[in-house]
Structure 1
Amino acid sequence: MHDHKSEFLKRTTNITKNVSCGNQLTFDELKNLNAGEWFVEKDPFCTVHLLTENQKNDAKMQPIPSLQELLELAKQHNTKVIFDLYHPEHCDDINDTMDTVTTILRSGIDQKLIYWLPPKNREYVKNATDFIQIYGNESEMFQENGSHLNVKYSQLTIDKIRKFQEDNIKVNLYVVNERWLFSLLWCAGASSVTTNSCQVLNEMRNPDWTMAPSVYRMIWILVDVGSILTMIGLFVYQWKTSDSRHREGRTNVLLWSNQEITSLV
Structure 2
Amino acid sequence: MAVLSWPTALHFFRMNKKRQVVVLALYLSVLFSLYLVPLGMYSPCIKEAGTLGPAPTLIGHRGAPMLAPENTLMSFEKAVESGGGGLETDVTIYDGVPFLMHDSTLRRTTNVAEVFPNRTQLDAAMFTWAEIQQLNAGSWFLLRDPFGTASSLSETDRSQAQNQSVPSLAQFLEVAAASGKLVLFDLRRPPYGHPYRRSYINTTLQVIQAHINSSQVLWLPSEDRALVSGLDPALQQTSGLKASIQELKDDGISRLNLHYSTMSQQQIKLQSVNISTNLYVISQPWLHALAWCAGARSVTTNSVHILSSINQPLFLMQTPEEYTLMWILTDFVSAFLIFAIFTFHWRERGLPFVSGSRHTNDNGPYSKFRTLSDVWSISSVNVRPDLRSSPSSPSGPHLPTITEE
TM-score band by shorter chain is 0.7 to 0.9
Shift of 1:89: 3.7
Q: Percent identity?
A: 33
1:165-244 alignment to 2 at 5 Å? 165=271, 168-214=274-320, 215-220=322-327, 223=330, 226=332, 244=354
> Is residue 2:230 matched to residue 1:127?
yes
Q: Deviations over 1:236-257 (max 9, x none)?
A: x9xxx999333659xx89x833
Higher helix share: 1
1:3 aligns with 2:106: no
Work out which structure has the larger RCO, using CA pairs closer than 8 Å and 6 or more positions apart in sequence: 2
Q: Does residue 270 of structure 2 align to residue 156 of structure 1?
A: no
Alpha-carbon distance in structure 2 between the residues aligned to 1:165 and 1:140: 13
How much has 1:73 moved relative to structure 2? 1.2
Q: Could you tell me how far apart the structure 1 residues matched to 2:198 and 2:380 are?
A: 106
Cα RMSD for the two superposed structures: 3.6
One of 196, 199, 206 as aligned partner of 1:95: 199
Equivalent residue for 1:16?
113
Structure 1 residues 166-205: Cα deviation after superposition (integer angstroms, max 9, x where no partner) = 6543211111122221222223322221122333323434
Of 256, 261, 265, 2:378 maps to: 256
Aligned residues between the structures: 252
Find the residue that maps to 1:82 and give its secondary structure. Answer: strand
Structure 2 regions of 5+ residues with no counterpart? Answer: 1-100, 344-350, 360-373, 383-402
Pairing 1:106–2:210 present: yes
* 1:60 matched to 2:158: no
1:136 aligned residue: 240
The CA deviation string for residues 210-241 of structure 1, in whole angstroms up to 9 with x for no partner, is 223422244345556x49987xx89xx9xxx9
Q: Distance in 1 between matches of 2:207 and 2:238?
A: 19
**Corresponding residue number in structure 1 for 2:220:** 117
Structure 1 residues 95-154: Cα deviation after superposition (integer angstroms, max 9, x where no partner): 1111111111122x1111100111111111111111101112331664031331111111
Partners of 1:172 and 1:191 within 8 A in 2: yes
Q: TM-score, normalised by structure 2?
A: 0.53
Contact 1:165 1:190 in 2 (8 A): no
CA distance in 2, matches of 1:36, 1:264: 95
Query: Contact (CA 8 Å) 1:141, 1:149: kept in 2 or not?
Result: no
Quick check: 1:135–1:149 contact (8 Å CA) kept in 2?
Answer: yes
Q: Label 1:48 to 1:104 Cα distance change in 2 as closer, same or farther (>3 A).
A: farther
Scaled by the length of structure 1, what TM-score is found? 0.77
How much does 1:48 deviate?
Answer: 5.4
Instruction: Give unpaired runs (5+ residues) of structure 1.
Output: none
Q: Secondary structure at the match of 2:355?
A: helix
Change (3 A) 1:84 1:43: same
More strand by share: 2
1:256 counterpart SS class: coil
Distance 1:264 1:43, change over 3 A: closer
Contact 1:30 1:64 in 2 (8 A): yes
Aligned to 2:131: 29
Shift of 1:78: 0.8
Change (3 A) 1:229 1:127: same
Partner SS state of residue 279, structure 2: strand
Matching residue's letter, 1:112: S
For residue 378 of structure 2, give the secondary structure of its aligned residue in structure 1.
Answer: helix
Q: Aligned to 1:84, what secondary structure does the other structure show?
A: strand
Give distance in 1, aligned partners of 2:138 and 2:335.
Answer: 61
Judge conservation of contact 2:263–2:294 (CA < 8 Å) in 1. Answer: no
**SS across alignment from 1:41:** helix
